Amino acid sequence: MSKVDLSVDLVGVKLKNPVVVASGTFGFGREYGQFYNLNELGGICCKGLTLHRREGNPPPRIAETPMGILNSVGLQNPGVDAFIQHELPELKKHDLAIIANISGNTPEEYGIMCEKLSAAGVDMIEVNISCPNVKAGGLAYGTKPELAAEVTKMAKSHSTVPVMVKLSPNVTDITEIARAVADAGADALSLINTLRGMRIDINTRRPILKMNTGGLSGPAVLPVAVRMVWEVACAVDLPILGMGGVAKGEDAAQLMLAGASAVAVGTACFADPYAPIKVRDGLSAIAAAQGLDKVSGLTGSVLPW
């Protein structure tokens, strides 16, 4: 193997390698932990948590699309307290960065969850702003700069660990949201969340998903992710966790060149549980072939025309 230094720093959180698994694709690590030791990973973004347990959306929740999948799981999760009690102690037995992902109906809910999770000792909090704001009539926090900023401020003021805000790609100008969130005090950004999509059964004339529409992920979204990471990296001076369609080392390298400090692997795990490890090894081989001592040397070094 090469002697490339794979470690990266994400706002003071040291990752032993830049490969994290993406929220919603890896549960709390138990399932894929049957296939390999979670210590292989740089970190885990846990399944999205809400203040109270949620059962999620009715099925079907999954529809396969060309090089992608649509999902409408609907934030099914055991709630933040059950996570702290039952899942976090298991994860802490491993050596990897634990990043809790949270969604709230109100800014206050974000604040309460940040307090609980900071006290419980997660390494970082990833704030999902793609969920609807009940008070604002269901408008997603992630699509309005002022709402995104409000949630960010609330999360920051209730956290003692770094706060990373996860941006939605379902906006006209992602840099506008990125700037608002950066100005509100975010420590890092993660992007992209899923792209809204739809698939219809032409015979029944029914959408495949019971919720009609869902979030698109998988290799189909990689070029969108690369473009948005690049745009955001140019617009704000915050570390970025890049994600969207990463299935191999080259995909991860593209996101890092575009400006990401670390990358998350998500949907690729469904096809291949070992995908995160293969991405890590692929990235290492690419860095070695390019004569880099440190994989972090890739970050932001794209040479745009």
Partner 1 sequence: MPIEQICTIAEAVKLNAYAYSFTLEVGDMVTRHGLMAGQFLHIACGEGLLLRRPISVCMVQQEEPHDTARIVFEVRGEGTQWLAERQVGDKVNVLGPLGNGFAVAPNDRLLLVGGGIGVPPLLGQAAFTAKNATAVLGFRSADRAMLEEDYQDYCEAVYLCSDDGSLGRHGFVDAQLKDILEQDKNFTAVLACGPKPMLKNVAKVAARYGVPCQVSLEERMACGVGACLGCAVQMADGTMKHVCKDGPVFDAKEVDWNV
Q: How far is the CB of 264 from partner 1 (least distance, A)?
A: 14
Q: Please report, for the chain, how many H helices and E strands are present, in that order.
A: 9, 18
Of residues 45, 114, 131, 269, which has the active-site annotation? 131
Q: Binding to partner 1 by residue 168, rule CB under 8 A?
A: no
Q: Binding to partner 1 by residue 267, rule CB under 8 A?
A: yes
| CB atoms near residue 138 (< 10 Å) | 10
Looking at 156-287, which runs of residues are DSSP E strands? 163-166, 188-191, 195-197, 200-201, 206-207, 214-217, 240-243, 262-265
What residues have CB less than 8 Å from 128, skipping those under 6 apart?
23, 48, 101, 102, 103, 166, 193
Residue with tokens 């408008």: 139
- The alpha-helical segments, DSSP class H, found in 27-130 are 80-82, 88-91, 107-120
Determine which residue in the list 8, 17, 44, 61 makes contact with partner 1, applying CB under 8 A: 61
Per the DSSP assignment, residues forming a β-bridge with 70 are 63, 216
Q: Binding to partner 1 by residue 73, rule CB under 8 A?
A: yes
| Candidate segments 102-110, 257-265, 268-276, 291-299, binder of partner 1 by CB under 8 A | 268-276
Q: Which is nearer to partner 1, 5 or 274 (CB)?
A: 274
DSSP codes joined into one string, 266-288: -THHHH-TTHHHHHHHHHHHHHH
SS3 state at 66: coil
Binding mask 14-53 for partner 1 (x = CB under 8 A): ----------xxxx--xxx-xx-----------x------
Determine which residue in the list 270, 288, 292, 297 makes contact with partner 1, applying CB under 8 A: 270
Size of the site for partner 1 (CB under 8 A): 36
Determine which residue in the list 59, 89, 138, 223 makes contact with partner 1, applying CB under 8 A: 59
Q: Name which of residues 201 to 220 contact partner 1 (CB under 8 A).
A: 208, 218-219
131 is catalytic: yes
Q: Which is nearer to partner 1, 68 or 162 (CB)?
A: 68
Task: List the end-to-end C-alpha distance of the chain, in Å, as a whole number.
Answer: 34
| Candidate segments 3-11, 59-67, 79-87, 98-106, binder of partner 1 by CB under 8 A | 59-67
Smallest Cα–Cα separation from 243: which of 10, 23, 11, 5?
23
Q: Which is nearer to partner 1, 24 or 169 (CB)?
A: 24
Determine which residue in the list 2, 11, 60, 302 makes contact with partner 1, applying CB under 8 A: 60
Residue type, 98: I
Q: Which is nearer to partner 1, 16 or 61 (CB)?
A: 61
Q: Which is nearer to partner 1, 28 or 230 (CB)?
A: 28
Q: Which is nearer to partner 1, 172 or 204 (CB)?
A: 204
Q: How far is the CB of 50 from partner 1 (least distance, A)?
A: 14
Q: How far is the CB of 73 from partner 1 (least distance, A)?
A: 5
Do the Cβ atoms of 300 and 259 come closer than 8 Å? yes
What residues have CB less than 8 Å from 251, skipping those under 6 apart?
219, 222, 245, 263, 279
SS3 state at 169: coil
Catalytic residues: 131
Residues near partner 1 (CB under 8 A) are 24-27, 30-32, 34-35, 47, 55-64, 67-69, 71, 73, 76, 208, 218-219, 267, 269-274
